Chains A and B, each alone.
Chain A
Amino acid sequence: MKVNKKGAAAAAALIVASMFGLAGCAGGTAATPKQTENAGTLTVWVDADRARALKDVAAAFQKDKGVKVDLVVKDYGKIQQDFTAQVPTGKGPDLTIGGHDWTGGFVQDGVIAPIELGDKASQFEKVALQAVTYDGKTYGLPYAIENIAILRNTKLAQDTPATFDAMVAEGKKAGTKYPFLVGLDPQGADPYHLYPFETSFGNSVFAQNADGSYDPTKLTIGDAAGQSFAKWLGAQGVKGTKVINLNVSQDIAKEAFLAGETPYLLTGPWNVADAQAKGIDLSVDPIPSAGGKTAAPFAGVQTFFLSAKSKNTLAATDFLVNYVATEPVQTALYKAGGRPPALTSAYQAAQSDPIIAGFGKVGENAVPMPSIPQMGSVWDDWGKTEAAIIKGADPVASWTKMASNIQAKLK
């Protein structure tokens, strides 16, 4: 027995020693990754739709430049958080897609790097370029623009009048259950969907610089124009016409529109497919003005971001500027996502679709959604106050209180 044990121990020592040796070798090669980092693979985080559209351009890039493009399909809702968490550890992708309004946070966290578009910059739609510009620098390549507009059921209403009151009157004439619907939330209303009415009074959240970027030191939301909007909002709430109803959620509004219970729905391109599937004859119309000026919605711009820790910046920039920023690719991305492309030539080609042309026409007046991190201090109070005003709180007092609360948080 004892001899046996000793033998086993010796054998064990031998095996373990050889394994240590093996492990040492493996560790040795892993410890010197410097030679393999330029093997030429670009990792790109995309959602499933975009992945299909990018497959061809990835293959073309690999063929031309010998750089493999690895499209990693991610759940869009998780990208922002995962990207922020993984880039500092060096495990994130070289490129990711995302909404342009993430830019400010990404820059503040130091996880994205600026991209030099060079002369390509002038070939993009103005609002798209404004949207990806932060602090004077371009932080991404825009590829699609989205904004809300009025979806009209053409069987129930002939046209969308230019003013809100006229539209509501037209909607009442249609004899449906609701003259007009917009999906809101009982707790937080929805500043994004109500914003076009707010801008029609000439109000904005922050003052815009000449280049379209927002100045976080100039909070303009509480000015006189904002207060007139608040008064108007109060007049549409429970104490007034009740046209704007907090209890109509996005789902309820959409269901009612699909059921033909309203001629007008204020919504984005994401609800078009379902309405068409229901056989509703749609028209996409400009948003009526409530305060006299043009009703300008927020534009959201879908963007490719470059990781600050990418080891492949040259290949990534080349891929974005010389491959993705071309008309065929932008068109393919538009076909996959159903949102107007950001490159002007592709954008114009897409206008042959009346739905896209409708959203595009409204989008010409759109202002980029602020991407500055200070916006994070605004949304919450903004929505809460709008909900309170719709519920019957004093509009002007609530609105000015909100402005001073936000101002206090910004400091």
Chain B
Amino acid sequence: MTGPALQDERETTDVAPSRRGRRAAALAEAASAGWKVWLAKIVMLGVIDALAIYAMLVLIAQGQWLVPLIIAVVAVLVNVVYLVPGLLPAKYLTPGLIFLFVFQVFVVLFSIYIAFTNYGSGHISTKDDAVAALMQQSQTRVENSPTFPVKVLERGGDFYLLTTDPATGAFEVGGADQPLEQVAGATASGAPGFTTLDFAQILQHQTAIGALSVPLSSDPNDGYLKTTDGSNAYQFTSTLTWDPTADTMTDTKTGVVYTDTGQGAFTSEDGTQLLPGWQVWVGVDNFVRAFSDASIRGPFFAVLIWTFVFAILSVATTFVLGLFLAIVFNDPRMKSKKFYRVIMILPYAFPGFLSALVWAGMFNQDFGFINQVLFGGASIPWLQDPWLAKAAILIVNLWLGFPYMFLVCTGAIQSIPEDIQEAGRVDGASVWQIFRHIKFPLLLVAIAPLLISSFAFNFNNFNLIYMLTAGGPRFADASINVGQTDILISMVYKVAFVGANRDYGLASAFAIIIFVLVALISYLSFRQTKVLEELN
């Protein structure tokens, strides 16, 4: 009975829309409805929510609050996007956006954060860790003190050490708040009123037992017993005392007081720092250092200038050679083009860092192919002279880079319609004029964005520099390990990861400077290319 009625209704509505409209409606029906789809959606959202809440609980248990908050907001947003009807674009974009934030934005933000801290050698952890490490390191075994064989005892949840006095042979028991004293009825394996722990039980409480220090006598200067393996104890004294209320460390030998001056380490009045320190926010200190510290500023500007020279010349030389070859190969009179083209593209097919290594060997002053074969045994210091090293880098990058330019120029030239050139020829223009005024501007419209990206790539061409010269020859008077052919990115790498003194904060600051430079140049260049496009 309802059937025909429904049928009627459908028929009336079906009359109006076009065929296309009906198809869209059917698609929408298929996409939105269907209880299976709904169930799948709900289950997946449930899994996501469960994971989010699990992550939040774990993080909150670790005492964090910012990351769980972010997770909560994201989880709510995801639920809203997939449960609320409509919002179709958001449904497609959300996964991508989340991955973008996790893998790109977060990394960038974290680098920026590091640039404003003193993260680096000696400042890698928190203040609590630094205090713990300092206390651990300040415990010194009393010289020539005997080994005390010990048993670990337990009473009322507290731990005690049972030992034999090496001088008297008497059995003594002591705990954290109770100096060693003789106990009546004690034997080598236990004492009345105490439970002797076996090794498994010791391991169960090893954190507490490892931290247990038993005063040798009521005089604290006698030191204390500590066991490091549960069966032997040694007599220790501490050279530092930590006062949590005053926030100071005191050296018990010299009496020097070290206070927290906000620089990420306990510092004495004369400026001596106790290391390890900890990470603190240092504001723009790293940027100020990059531009003001003479021993960093000098090399920094030299590296900055060379980075620009290197990137610009790399793009220019590869583009000129690539374009020249593309024009030559585009000439219909050229024979066996395919063969030559394969050869041309070979350098592009090898991994760049391998090629750079091979070239480094070929540039060896005494044994390299270039000096031995091409220059007849001449001893040219290719990688040791500042100017020759720079030339060598440009030569190798030309070799590595021209096939790419050749490829893109070939494509661009072939896309220029023949009739435009024909028109030029009819008007009596010379070959050079046709190239200069017709072909080249049209070519640039297509190629300019690629030149900009090539510039950005070479600006950060770490592989080539690091594998070919490793930045050498080095600057004589720089306090950071950089050389004549270092570009900004290889300098950042060296500051952050090479040598014993690592400075992640300064390296991150440099990385931000690089980012700003590349972004600025790209922005300005892309604005310029718009002018080119108006040619069309």
Q: Is the CB of A27 within 8 A of B210?
A: no
| Per-position binary interface string of chain A over residues 357-386, scored 1 when its CB falls under 8 Å from any chain B CB and 0 otherwise | 000000000000000010111011000100
Contact residues in A for B54 (Cβ distance below 8 Å): 23, 26-27, 30
Q: How far does the Cβ of A87 sit from chain B's closest Cβ, in whole Å?
A: 8
| A115 lies within 8 A of B137 (CB) | no
Q: Which of B47, B126, B210, B364 has the most CB of A within 10 A?
A: B210
Pick from A81, A88, A116: contact of B129, CB below 8 A.
Answer: A88
Q: How far is the CA of A104 from the CA of B499 in the complex (A)?
A: 13
In the docked arrangement, what's the CA distance between A27 and B204, Å? 23
CA distance A172 to B45 in the complex (A): 79
Is A105's beta carbon under 8 Å from chain B?
yes
B residues 25-40 with Cβ under 8 Å of A?
33, 35, 38-39
Q: Is B8 an interface residue (CB 8 A)?
A: no
Contact A318 B229 (CB under 8 A): yes
**Pick the contact of B472 from A11, A19, A187 — CB < 8 Å?**
A187
Residues of chain B within 8 A (CB-CB) of A65 are 199-200, 203
Q: Which residues on the A side are within 8 Å of B207 (C-beta)?
A: 37-38, 311, 313
Please pick, from A12, A16, A110, A384, the residue contacting B474 in the complex, using a CB distance under 8 A: A384
Contact A4 B35 (CB under 8 A): yes
Q: How far is the CA of A104 from the CA of B33 in the complex (A)?
A: 66
> B453-487 interface mask toward A, CB cutoff 8 Å, 1 = contact, 0 = none?
00000000000000001101110110101010000
Please, which residues of chain A bring their CB within 8 A of the CB of B47? 19
Residues from 310 to 328 in B contacting A, C-beta threshold 8 Å = none
CB-contacts of A296-350 with B (<8 A): 308-309, 311-315, 317-318, 321-322
* Tier of interface size on chain B: 35 or more
B500 cross-chain contacts in A, Cβ below 8 A: 104-105, 373, 375-377
How far, in Å, is A40 (CB) from chain B's closest CB? 6
Q: How far, in angstroms, from A403 to B125 measured CA to CA in the complex?
A: 33
- Interface assignment of A354: CB less than 8 Å from any CB of chain B: no
A405 to B474, CA, bound (A): 14
Once the chains are docked, how many angstroms separate the CA of A247 from the CA of B383? 10
| Nearest CB in chain A: distance from B312 CB, A | 26
Binds A, one of B139-147, B284-292, B333-341: B139-147
Q: Provide the bound-state CA to CA distance between A107 and B137, in Å.
A: 8
Report which of A12, A84, A379, A409 forms a contact with B124, defined as CB distance below 8 A.
A84
* Beta-carbon contact of A110 and B481 below 8 Å: no
A residues less than 8 Å from B203 (CB atoms):
38, 40, 65-67, 312, 314-315
How far does the alpha carbon of A190 sit from the alpha carbon of B275 in the complex, in Å? 30
Give the contacting residue for A380; candidates B56, B481, B497; CB below 8 A: B481
Partner among B83, B147, B204, B230 whose Cβ is within 8 Å of the Cβ of A318: B230
Q: Is A279 an interface residue (CB 8 A)?
A: no
- Name the residue on B nearest A66 (C-beta): B200
- Residues B57 and A23 in contact, CB atoms below 8 Å apart: yes
Q: How distant is A34 from chain B, measured CB to nearest CB, in Å?
A: 9
B132 on interface, CB distance cutoff 8 Å: yes
With contacts A23-B53, A30-B61, A110-B125 taken as known, whether A38 is within 8 angstroms of B205 at the C-beta atoms is: yes
Minimal beta-carbon separation of B183 from chain A (angstroms): 24
Q: Which residues of B contact A11 (CB under 8 A)?
A: 39, 42
- Is A20 interfacial (CB 8 A cutoff)? yes
The reply to whether A118 and B147 contact each other, CB–CB distance below 8 Å, is yes
> Smallest CB–CB gap between A78 and chain B, Å?
11
Chain B residue contacts of A212, Cβ below 8 A: none
Residues of A with C-beta under 8 A to B479: 409
Q: How far is the CB of B31 from chain A (nearest CB, A)?
A: 14
Docked CA distance A38–B207 (Å): 9
Inter-subunit contact A135/B137 (CB<8 Å):
yes
- The distance from the CB of A30 to the nearest CB of chain B, in whole angstroms, is 5
User: Given A135-B137, A136-B140, 10 other A-B contacts at CB below 8 A?
Assistant: A15-B42, A27-B57, A30-B58, A38-B204, A40-B203, A109-B125, A110-B133, A248-B367, A373-B500, A380-B499
| Interchain Cβ contacts under 8 Å between A and B, 26 examples | A12-B45, A16-B46, A19-B47, A19-B49, A20-B53, A23-B49, A23-B54, A23-B57, A27-B53, A30-B61, A31-B61, A38-B204, A38-B207, A65-B200, A65-B203, A66-B199, A84-B124, A105-B500, A110-B133, A113-B133, A187-B469, A318-B229, A373-B122, A376-B121, A376-B499, A384-B476
The 4 closest A-B pairs by CB, nearest first: A376-B500, A27-B57, A110-B133, A110-B276
